[in-house]
Amino acid sequence: MSSKLQTKDVVSLFLPKRLEAATIPGGEVNHDAYGVVPGPAWCLWAVDGATALAPAGEDELQAFVKCVNEEIGKHVADPRVPLRRAMAAAAGAVLADFSGFPRQPWERPSCSVALARLDGKHLEYFVLGDAAVVADTPDGVRVFSGKEGIARLDRIAVQEKTRLQLEKGMSSREARAAIQPTLRKHRAMMNTPEGYWIFNGDPEACLHAVCGSVDVPPGGRVVAATDGFIRLVDTLAVFPDWGDLLSVLKRSSLQDLLRLLREAEDRDPECLAHPRFWIYDDATAVYLEF
C-alpha cells in the first residue's frame, strides 16, 4: 500500500514524502496486521500474532489480532498521550473482549507490536515482543526491539528442532511438531520476569515495553516491522544490516524486498542453513520517509 497525500485536505498535517506498507502470509492465514493514523504526528505500526499452539486457537488468534489492530488505531492518535499509556488503554479494551475464556497459560492469544509516532522532528516508539521499529537518528540507524526474552527461548527451541532434524532424520515440519511441548512451556512464561514480555491484553505488560523518544534528522526513514520481515537482516542475512536494507529501500518497494525474502527462504526449505521454525513466516512492514 502506498499513499499520495494532499495538503488541501488537512493543513496542519505533517506530510511524509513517502508512505508504504506491505504484508505477505506465511501460510493459509496471515496473522500479521498493520495500520497508519495521519495527524500532526503520524502513527504507524505492525502487529504479529503469535502462532497458536492448539488447532482450536487459530480462529481466536485471528479475531484477537483484528481487535488489537483496531484498538491501537483508536488509542494512539493523540500526541499528548504517551504511547505507553495509550497502549495500556488499548490493552484494557482488548482484555475486556478476551479475558472470559478459561485456558492454560500457553493458550492465551498474544502478539508483538511495533509502534512509531513521528512529527517530522521527533520519534516516539513503543515495542512489545520481537517486532521492531527502525529509524534514522542523529547517531545513525537505530533498531528498537523487545526481542531479548523471546529470542533466548526461541534459540533453545530452534536448537532442539535442528538437533532432531540432524540426529533423527526428521523433516523440518516433523521436527517442528515434535517440539510442541517445549513451545508450550515457553509460551506459558509470557509476561513473567523469567520469560518474556508481549501484548496479550494485560495492561501491566506495557510497563515492560521498549519505549522512548529520539530526535530524527530531516529526510530520515522509519520502519515498523514484524519478525517475519526482520528475517531479511537477522536470520537470513539477505542484508548485512538495517542501513543497507534502508539504502536499497530508497530505490525499491517493500514488495521488492518481500520477493527477496521469499527467494531466500525457498533456498533453504528445510531450515538448516538458517535455522528457524518454519520455512515461511507472515511478514509485514510499514515504511515512512519524512
Pick the closest to residue 132 from 145, 141, 121, 116 (CA basis). 145
- The reported pLDDT for the residue numbered 55 is 75
Gyration radius of the chain over CA positions: 19
- The reported pLDDT for the residue numbered 59 is 87
Query: Does residue 11 lie in a domain region?
Result: no
- The reported pLDDT for the residue numbered 100 is 63
Sign of CA dihedral 31, 32, 38, 40: positive
Domain of 113 in residue numbering reads as 18-289
**What is this structure's pTM?**
0.93
Which runs of consecutive H residues, i.e. helices, occur in the chain? 57-75, 83-98, 148-168, 172-178, 180-187, 227-234, 242-250, 254-266
Query: Does residue 166 lie in a domain region?
Result: yes
Q: CB neighbours of 260 closer than 8 A, spacing ≥ 6?
A: 232, 238
Q: How many C-alpha atoms does 255 have within 13 Å on its Cβ side? A: 3
pLDDT tens digit string along 169-187?
999 999 999 999 999 999 9
Residues of the chain with pLDDT under 50: 1-11
∠ CA 239-117-26, rounded to 5°: 45
Query: Does residue 7 lie in a domain region?
Result: no
C-alpha 111/C-alpha 107 separation (Å) is 13
Query: Does residue 2 lie in a domain region?
Result: no
C-alpha 51/C-alpha 248 separation (Å) is 30
- The reported pLDDT for the residue numbered 102 is 55
Per DSSP, the chain holds a count of helices (H) and strands (E) of 8, 10
- The reported pLDDT for the residue numbered 1 is 41
Q: Is 224 left (phi over 0), alpha (psi -120 to 50) or beta?
A: beta
Asked whether the beta carbons of 16 and 56 are under 8 A apart, the reply is: no
User: Which domain CATH number covers 137?
Assistant: 3.60.40.10
Asked whether the beta carbons of 66 and 80 are under 8 A apart, the reply is: no
Asked whether the beta carbons of 242 and 230 are under 8 A apart, the reply is: no
Sign of CA dihedral 44, 50, 55, 60: negative
Number of compact structural domains in the chain: 1
- The reported pLDDT for the residue numbered 117 is 98
Query: Does residue 5 lie in a domain region?
Result: no
- The reported pLDDT for the residue numbered 58 is 85
Q: Which amino acid is at 114?
A: A
- The reported pLDDT for the residue numbered 22 is 99
Coarse DSSP helix, strand, coil percentages of the chain, rounded to the nearest 5 percent: 40, 25, 40
Query: Does residue 89 lie in a domain region?
Result: yes
Asked whether the beta carbons of 289 and 15 are under 8 A apart, the reply is: no
